[in-house]
A and B are shown apart, each in its own frame.
Chain A
Amino acid sequence: NAGVMQNPRHLVRRRGQEARLRCSPMKGHSHVYWYRQLPEEGLKFMVYLQKENIIDESGMPKERFSAEFPKEGPSILRIQQVVRGDSAAYFCASSPTPAGSTDTQYFGPGTRLTVL
């Protein structure tokens, strides 16, 4: 059973470009979470999605960031007009359905975004 897949593993963008990060959850998981890890810090929650629904986006910056989890295909975290402060590791996690608060979240290897 493949784990959570994220691609690309490393992404370099210049200021003002767009970054698209992809996450494929574990087989049978329909709940996806995105976290951001800034240098020398712990992980911070960004957004929680189910298929075609955003459940909790309380950790998302108000501008330039968006996330989706379509009926088919991976979840996408999109950052428009990137700035140097967006440089971080972005981790995706998934949990099984039906969701319950005891479910373990399984993490992917992360995408390391560098903004030049």
Chain B
Amino acid sequence: AQSVTQLDSQVPVFEEAPVELRCNYSSSVSVYLFWYVQYPNQGLQLLLKYLSGSTLVKGINGFEAEFNKSQTSFHLRKPSVHISDTAEYFCAVKAAGNKLTFGGGTRVLVKP
């Protein structure tokens, strides 16, 4: 079975500052990794995914994430956040089969 830990439940950050959201996972098999964003009262939108190849993955809205197999991490970063990045962010893994296992989420609050 897989599990996902998002170490920070809330991250306040000032506009135009960088942000990093931490995600660690555990799995006995190879996994695929995803970051989703959820804006208030909306569904989940895919930010980026790691399937194979380069460990640095670039996604939409200026986000990127780095897969680190030895540390079983997939941290999400953005060098300069906007007010519109205020949302909840979910890290998820998928192994064999099709179900996604999600972390508990990290709420990002961007302050002016």
Whether B46 pairs with A106 at a CB distance below 8 angstroms is yes
Whether A42 pairs with B43 at a CB distance below 8 angstroms is no
Closest-by-CB residue of A relative to B99 is A45
A54 at the interface (CB under 8 A from B): no
Q: Which stretch from A14-22, A64-72, A75-83, A97-105 is at the chain B interface?
A: A97-105
Could you say which of A33, A106, A108 contacts B99, with CB atoms under 8 Å apart? A33
Whether B46 pairs with A104 at a CB distance below 8 angstroms is yes
Whether A43 pairs with B102 at a CB distance below 8 angstroms is yes
Number of interface residues of B (CB under 8 A): 27
Number of interface residues of A (CB under 8 A): 30
Whether B46 pairs with A44 at a CB distance below 8 angstroms is no
Residues from chain A with Cβ under 8 Å of B49 in the complex: 104
Minimum C-beta distance from B8 to chain A (A): 13
Whether B43 pairs with A91 at a CB distance below 8 angstroms is yes
Whether B94 pairs with A101 at a CB distance below 8 angstroms is yes
Minimum C-beta distance from A47 to chain B (A): 9
Residues from chain A with Cβ under 8 Å of B4 in the complex: 42
Q: How far is the CA of A59 from the CA of B1 in the complex (A)?
A: 13
Residues from chain A with Cβ under 8 Å of B44 in the complex: 43, 91, 93, 107
Residue ranges of A at the interface with B (Cβ–Cβ < 8 Å): 4, 6, 31, 33, 35, 41-45, 48, 55-56, 58-59, 91, 93, 95, 99, 101-110, 112
Please, could you name 21 A-B residue pairs with CB atoms under 8 Å apart, sorted by A? A31-B98, A33-B98, A33-B99, A35-B102, A41-B104, A42-B90, A42-B104, A43-B44, A43-B90, A56-B98, A59-B99, A91-B44, A93-B100, A101-B96, A101-B98, A104-B46, A104-B49, A105-B98, A105-B100, A106-B46, A108-B43
